[in-house]
Chains A and B, each alone.
Chain A
Amino acid sequence: MSDEVGSAAETEADSEPVDESPTLYERWRQIHDNESTVAALTILGVALAPFVLVTLPTQLGLPSEYSWYHNLLTLTLIWGIFALGYDLLLGFTGLLSFGHAIFWGTSAYAAGIFSANVTGSPLAMILVGTLTAVLMAWIIGWISLRRGGIYFAILTLAFGQMIYYIFLSPLGDITGGENGFTGVQVGSLFGVVDLGRAVPFVPEAFVDSWMYVFVGAAMILSVVVGYRILNSPYGAVLRAIRENEQRAEFVGLNVWRYKLMAFILSGAFAGLAGSLYVIQRSFVPIENTLNWTVSGDIVVITVLGGVGSLFGPVFGAGLYMYVANIVSGMPVIGEFWHMILGIVFIAVVATMPHGIWGRVDWLRDRVADAIGGDER
């Protein structure tokens, strides 16, 4: 399998920018899908988000009850990674899983319990959490992927509920049951960097703590890896499966194996995100990790952002987090935030069939046309 992924680098080498065409549009067309451009855009986005969403609104005098705060941005990136991985499955392979809480949740518990008993090193926690999620995805994918469509969705949901109850009661002594796991002990990164601390030489207006840098780095890495997967022959096979599973099979591809691998990859992203979630909170609440509502949330986030796009789910996570954490704290309307989320969801689905990112793409094309791309 790895040999196929390896060839991705060559594919990208072909799309290196060539400095021949003078128009801005041409140049943009050449580089805008390039891996380093994607990485640069992600870095820029992650680096500027705190300034644009937290500092600027405050300085412009936006009342604090409408504005973002640093922890929430970190949380959004974490959910963004989760959603990005989910979209690999839903958007690019065409599999609707209703059990992704399993991978997010078990990795959170694994990382949390590991930190309490072995070591609190954030990287070790991520490793343990992600491996747990991969293992779970392997087992559950292996069983559930024997069926497609609604049967697959229901099977994953059933597994999700099963694991939720196992963690709630029979394993209650280890997991803390309904109280959640409270013994998380997050240590410092490489033994020196305390994630809660400020980053020296960087103004708070941009980055408030190492935690954001850490999670931001994970986000950038996830985007790059996601991009690689999608632009490799492997990604092409996944899309072929999404478009027509039978045809892919007739061509001679082992469809089941590809689907299982997509499921595991997506589980790994969920595992990374779940471990980061525990590192950020130092607490594993069961309702927000293993409960089936999490599996629903991630579908909502992905659809809001735009199914089948790389960046879309991150924006979906942002919108969802804003409604769930900021609108819910506003006076009067706060109590109806679930309803508001429903209305937002309907509005997005009705007016933006490809989610927020679909609209951004559309706008980008308009702008590109205006700059001078009429030969298209």
Chain B
Amino acid sequence: MMTELMEFNEVLEHFDPALGLEVHVELSTASKMFCGCSTEFGAEPNTQVCPVCLGLPGALPVVNAKAVESAIRIGLALGCEIAPWGRFARKNYFYPDMTKNFQTSQYDEPIAFDGRVEVEVDGESYVIEIERAHMEEDAGKLTHVGATGRIHGADYSVIDYNRAGMPLIEIVTKPILGTGAKAPQVARAYVALLRDLMRALDVSDVRMEQGSLRCDANVSLAPKGSAELGTRTETKNVNSLRSIERAVTFEMRRQAAILAGGGRVLQETRHFHEGDGSTSPGRSKEEAQDYRYFAEPDLVPVAPSKEWIEELRASLPEPPAARRKRLAAAWEVDEKTMAAIVAAGALELIEATVAAGASPQSARKWWLSELARRANEAGVELEDLGVNPADVAATQELVDKGELTDKLARAVFDGIIAGEGSPTEVVERRGLRVVSDEGALGEAIDSVIAASPDVAEKVRGGKVQAVGALIGQVMKAMHGQADAARVRELLLERLGVG
């Protein structure tokens, strides 16, 4: 069934979008939220579970102090107030991803609330207000077995509870208004900011593809100028920055087509499909969910002291915006270039490449052009391309030493992406070193001059620019493995105009 969509530009002529973003961050603690089971990713199914995370009778949870500390630091970094006293709550539901039949969460007493952050899109700043950030536990991982691999039509499901009880922080925004055509980019920039922030705080791996940062995107449309919000949909588990932008764009276009046709947007959860960037309805909710929240009797309240909060505030890293300013000055780039670096997800990568010894210019050149293009072509984030900052610095070092040309360096990156090892290994394996053997080069030059007497004559006669054609032929004869500047020098020398 084809979903009807309105052209994006037309959507904006008639409607104002409102966004609400819920981001789940899995904390990188060693043990789970309420028990000592390991949180290590990738273990054999059901080997990291115990009576507490299985909810067996008589088991008592105890809060992980590190998780509370991370929650407070995240709250502070988001500009939130920290609750001086708060309880956990049971969110009751029946679904096999939790054996307890409830999720331990926070309800009306979140640990952090009323924050704000700023994101920048195309040089314009947008304030995003944070409603709350609360602590909760993750659920187990269901795998649906059947022809489709999806829950609908599955024959049965199998469950791994290793993830059940992992510490999560859920960060919820207030409605984000007034972003217009920039709504998809603002959504993306906000999640990118959270990712950077979590990384700077060192509280999570924030690997979106492993699910340690997940975003649910609420989107609604209101007639242009209307003060009231429209009916929203919630697109669940959008797991890459690019997908967030696409999911918001798709929902705006889909909802606009429905509203323009006189229809009503259904309030529902939807799933995002990476393949074509569409969304489709999720579990239907014939009746509104009733989670019957109540205070968790097995856990006592968390009441962080003022001293502790201030101690944690003092330990906060440099805020991302300040860091960008500092790096822009150090790298001598303007705001526009910096924005491009951030948008490409290259800030950390360039910083690490510079730290590994490359100049800011060369680091920026590789990440923003060559590597960004390849990531784009492969449809992956820059950091997931398979090239790390040390590789880039090492490759640039070979260029600086004259052992590689830029063209050969590009072939080195091909090799690294293909999994052929480090830059030096790729150079060896592919025989990419610049030929500095002047004998071989000299021979190639002589035969090119002999093969093109007309061009050679022109150059001798003073038309020095004509040498370009000869350089090209020599480079071709050398399979690109020569330094073009040196070739030019030798050619001109041979032709008596050097």
Asked if A pairs with B, the answer is no
